[in-house]
Structure 1
């Protein structure tokens, strides 16, 4: 479809090709940059694919979401027990965008309710980055790296493999405790990812 549109704008008909006066990538560029601002079907398709991923991680409780959860689990899969998996193909496209500098999932943050379904260390539920990235020395001491928010809020140090020593470890522990201080859990389930402010990304769409 992208190729047909390109030929249409270039004035090509059947087997007759005309001179291309402007690159197709420039045709797709926005009017703010002095180009035509023709929407890219490639970009639109990737946006629609990510909408399915967003629905999955937001746990919208739809029949589709419950089916994917029962078949593939609660995490974004890197492999599938099924030979042909449409869901895994969608995830691969999202990872492909990440490799090209467009990490959409990193701009999502969980709205914590009771904290039972949210990973304390690896998921973005407070601030703009996972706690394992902000406090790597404490995360290295963690024996249960899949602890939920509900479990860790009761005692941050309960599952560490040894007591925290002085220096950077002690400093990071104090900062971590201060960072999560004031977090209040509720009786609601964790759900509803919010979209964080996204930085402007330069992305070149290749012709299909």
Structure 2
């Protein structure tokens, strides 16, 4: 076969950085609004519909691909217009920042799920599965392509990503490249130490040793 091809509606082999890859999903969100017609929906009902329906449409995409900012902004634009104006075609002024709407109700928000965080959470599951001991076929495929060292490694950002690596794998490795939020949140219990990386894994305290002792780590890297 040829790439890209569609599998369960997802364009396999397409470039996730291009808006065209996500356009069918964005159009599906617009189509769902059109299918609802001119029904009158209360504000509370619109919040439920955004979380239960509109935010559910991109889930399969978000579980495999890193969402570009342009795509996120387009989805937010659709949802914001629906939240303030309902199903009417008139433009309404948005009086509150979208980030405030996405805060939990306990923090005076509306509890609308932030798709950026949903995207990171779903992609992080692949990193977590690589740390788990369960044997799965997809792991065998990834190991065969990228090497045994990826198994049990909390910080994949330190690996050199092959030039021909898939966009999915690049996105998984660079998930926390700037902040290390995933690797810092994972703590290892040292057994025989074979799968524990001395400097990069969190195995003593709540921070990787490379961040606790950056000067020593830098000298070792230069040695």
State the TM-score, normalizing by the size of structure 1. 0.55
1:88 to 146, 170, 190: 170
Residues 12 and 18 in structure 1, CA contact (< 8 A), matched pair in contact too: no
1:53 matched to 2:127: yes
Residues 184 and 208 in structure 2, CA contact (< 8 A), matched pair in contact too: no
CA distance in 1, matches of 2:171, 2:198: 28
Aligned length: 140
Residues 50 and 94 in structure 1, CA contact (< 8 A), matched pair in contact too: no
Gap change, CA 1:105 and 1:135, over 3 Å in 2: closer
Higher relative contact order (CA closer than 8 Å, sequence separation 6+)? 1
CA distance in 2, matches of 1:39, 1:21: 19
CA distance in 2, matches of 1:37, 1:117: 39
CA distance in 2, matches of 1:33, 1:20: 20
1:126 to 183, 189, 204: 204
Deviation sequence 1:8-46 (CA, Å, 0-9, x none): 111154652112122211111121221212122221121
Deviation sequence 1:144-182 (CA, Å, 0-9, x none): x8xxxxxxxxxxxxxxx9xxxxxxxxxxxxxxxxxxxxx
| Corresponding position of 1:38 | 112
Greater share of residues in helix: 2
Compute the displacement of 1:62 (Å).
1.6
1:108 to 186, 211, 219: 186
Structure 1: which 5+ residue stretches go unaligned? 146-160, 162-208
Q: Which has the higher mean CA deviation after the structures are superposed, 65-74 or 13-22?
A: 13-22
CA distance in 2, matches of 1:50, 1:41: 14
CA distance in 2, matches of 1:140, 1:94: 20
Compute the displacement of 1:88 (Å).
0.8
State the TM-score, normalizing by the size of structure 2. 0.52
Q: Could you list the runs of 4 or more consecutive aligned residues of structure 1 that deviate by over 4 angstroms after TM superposition?
A: 12-15, 132-142
Look up the SS of the partner of 1:25 in the other structure: helix
Larger radius of gyration: 1
The root-mean-square deviation of aligned C-alpha atoms, in Å, is 3.0
